[in-house]
Amino acid sequence: MRAAQGCKRFLEDLGDHLDGTLSGPAHLVFERHLQVCGSCQFLCATVEKTIYYYRTWDAGPIPADIEARLWKALESRMRSPRNSHA
């Protein structure tokens, strides 16, 4: 079983999860992967923390360049051959 496939799906669904629009089977798959994948737990926590800070500061929506940089970092982490961070 290729974990990276699940991670790719997880990343695709992460945005919907954060928007609160992820539901049904996709949400189940998302939650299940989060329970078993240390890398995605780390990623999810990082993203949620970042968004939480922005909301706490009442800074409005995350600036597009910062969001783009965040996603780029996440993607490069997923592409890394040494993906076993946990």
Residues making contact with Zn ion (CB under 5 A):
7, 10, 37, 39-40
At 19, which amino acid appears?
D
In whole angstroms, the minimum distance from the beta carbon of 63 to Zn ion comes to 27
Least distance from C-beta 23 to Zn ion, angstroms?
A: 20
CA-nearest of 56, 55, 49 to 70 is 49
Q: With respect to Zn ion, which residue has the nearer C-beta, 55 or 72?
A: 72
Nearest approach in angstroms of CB 85 to Zn ion is: 10
Q: Which tokens belong to 39?
A: 């890398």
- Of 40 and 47, which has the nearer Cβ to Zn ion? 40
Question: Nearer Cβ to Zn ion, position 14 or 40?
Answer: 40
Contact 80, 4 (CB under 8 A): no
Q: Which residues touch 62 (CB under 8 Å, ≥6 apart)?
A: 50, 51, 54, 70
